[in-house]
A and B are shown apart, each in its own frame.
Chain A
């Protein structure tokens, strides 16, 4: 991990040449959730291609640029286009943007993703505020010689998602009449969807939803001392005894349909952050 420090400096330098503000909040938008950036009062956009050491986004429905500007009175830097392990990237590459956000001044990371719902009380289109996660990706972005400038060798993971923010997001959801759950995300590599036997296994170990992202970014956020709030949109139900073939177009359509709810929750959480004068 010793090479990261210089890479972060170089990427940061490039972004700062296009945008002279310091972000208070970093945002990573998942599958079908990119339109949140329409809410941002955009000051600059920077393509990943142009940023040294940034990976390119190759996934369906993911663009590949940083959108910098103002949202709810806070300076934000949003990744429009997420990078996934299943694209062949190392977890260190995937999480470099999180480290760059931290280096540029961010204190809070907002992550979102599209997931399969395994908790039978969930419904397609519902939102789950991520309370905790299980890393089943078979890898960890912190493997390697630790750079103590970036964070501790053995980061604590007792509260990777700030529980106060989880409560606040759920309160905003009630106020806005949005169905939102709190639950556990299990992350796998994919890219295949799970077998019925795998869904049974993942449910058995305590997960409510399954996805192919988010956990690497959150581990690095915890390592670097960023506060995190995470939202999952349940885009298909994965009930092994009544499993239907997954349709990626439908998943993306569901994500797009649910996107206004996510937008309301993110904006609500950020408005509270702004009112607190934090971020």
Chain B
């Protein structure tokens, strides 16, 4: 991980040259949720390909640009277009943007994704506020010689997702009257959807399954960033009741649930703007 420092600094200097502000919140937009970026008072957009060492976004339903600006009075840097291990990127590459955000000044990271529901009490279109995760991606972005400047060798994972932000997100969902659960996200590589046998296995481990988020959260915790992660449950997989899944269905359902996600994100940012000195727990 030693070469990361130089890569981060080069990426940061390009971003800062186009957008000199200091963001306090980073946002990673997942599958079908890119519309949130339209609600940012945009001050700069930078293509990933113009940022040194940034991987390109190749996934369905993902653009590939950094949107910098203001949302709910908070300076934010937003990844419109997420990177996945199934695209062939290493977890170190995928999490470079999180490290860059940290260096830019980000203290709080809001991540969204689309997931398959494993918990039968969930319905398609529900939001799951991620309370915890299981890493079944067979990889870890922290593998390698640790750079102690970036974070500890053995980061604690007793609370990777910030408890206060989880409670706040759930209270916003109640206020706006939509269904939001708290639950455990199982990260797998994909890209194929799960077999019925795999769903049965994974449903013993968590509430939703997806192909992202875990690497970014590991890097964020390592870097000392508070994390809120929101998952749109795009289909509930019932292994005993046969049905098929397509990438397009997932994207359509995620897009339809985008307003719910947006209300949580803006609600959290309004709270942050009102209490800029909130303790980091």
Q: Which A residues form the contact surface with B (CB < 8 A)?
A: 1, 132-135, 138-140, 142-146, 152-160, 184, 205-207, 219, 222-223
In whole angstroms, what is the CA distance A152 to B58 when docked? 13
Q: Which residues of B contact A138 (CB under 8 A)?
A: 138
- For residue B1, which residues in chain A have a CB less than 8 angstroms away from its CB? none
Q: In the bound complex, what is the Cα–Cα distance between A1 and B191 (angstroms)?
A: 13
Taken together as a complex, chains A and B put the C-alpha atoms of A145 and B64 apart, in Å, by 15
Given known contacts A133-B195, A145-B58, A158-B195, is B189 in contact with A153 (CB within 8 Å)?
Answer: no
Taking the closest CB of chain B, its distance from the CB of A143, in whole angstroms, is 5
The segment from B148-156, B166-174, B197-205 that touches chain A is B197-205
- Among candidates A134, A139, A145, A155, residue contacting B197 with C-beta atoms closer than 8 Å: A134
Tell me which residues across on chain B come within 8 A of A152, comparing CB atoms: 246-247
- Give Cα distance in the complex from A143 to B195, angstroms: 17
Q: How far is the CA of A194 from the CA of B10 in the complex (A)?
A: 46
Q: Quick one: which of B180-208 are within 8 Å of A by CB?
A: 189-198, 200-201, 204
Interface digits, B241-260 against A, CB 8 Å rule (1 contact, 0 not)? 01111110010000000000
| Docked CA distance A103–B243 (Å) | 28
10 extra interface residue pairs, beta carbon distance < 8 Å, beyond A154-B246, A155-B193, A158-B193: A132-B197, A134-B198, A135-B198, A140-B192, A144-B87, A145-B88, A154-B192, A154-B245, A155-B191, A222-B192
Give bound CA distance, A139 to B200, whole Å. Answer: 20
Whether the Cβ atoms of B195 and A157 lie closer than 8 Å is: yes
Assess the A206–B247 pair: CB atoms within 8 A: no
Residue of B nearest to A161 (CB): B195
- A154 near B201 with CB under 8 A, answer no
Would you call A133 and B189 a contact (CB within 8 A)?
Answer: no
Q: Is B59 in the interface zone, CB < 8 Å from A?
A: yes
In the complex formed, the residue of A with least CB distance to B247 is A154
CB < 8 Å neighbour of B191 from A154, A159, A207: A154
Once the chains are docked, how many angstroms separate the CA of A205 from the CA of B136? 14
Residues of B within 8 A of A134 (CB): 195, 197-198, 201
Contacts of B195 in A (CB 8 A): 132-135, 157-158, 160
Cβ contact within 8 Å between B197 and A154: no
Are B193 and A205 in touch, CB under 8 angstroms? Answer: no
Q: Which 5 A-B pairs rank lowest in CB-CB distance, beginning with the nearest?
A: A138-B138, A144-B88, A154-B247, A132-B197, A205-B201
A206 and B197 in contact (CB under 8 A), knowing A145-B88, A153-B60, A219-B192?
yes
Which one of A156, A159, A206, A222 contacts B201 once the chains associate, using CB atoms below 8 Å? A206
Partner of A158, one of B58, B86, B242: B242
- Given A133-B197, A154-B190, A156-B193, answer yes or no on A143-B244 (Cβ-Cβ < 8 Å): no
Report the minimum CB–CB distance from A198 to chain B (whole Å): 14
- Flag if B201 contacts A143 (CB, 8 Å): no
User: Is B191 a contact of A143 with CB atoms below 8 Å?
Assistant: yes
How many whole Å from A85's CB to the nearest CB in chain B? Answer: 12
Q: Is the CB of B197 within 8 A of A223?
A: no
Chain B residues, Cβ within 8 Å of A1? 88
Contact (Cβ within 8 A) A143 B59:
no
Q: How far is the CB of A201 from chain B (nearest CB, A)?
A: 10
B4 to chain A, nearest CB (A): 22
Cβ distance A184 to chain B, nearest Cβ, rounded Å: 5
Q: Is the C-beta of B65 less than 8 angstroms from some C-beta in chain A?
A: no
| Chain B residues with CB below 8 A from A157, complex form | 192-195, 198
Is B242 a contact of A159 with CB atoms below 8 Å? Answer: yes
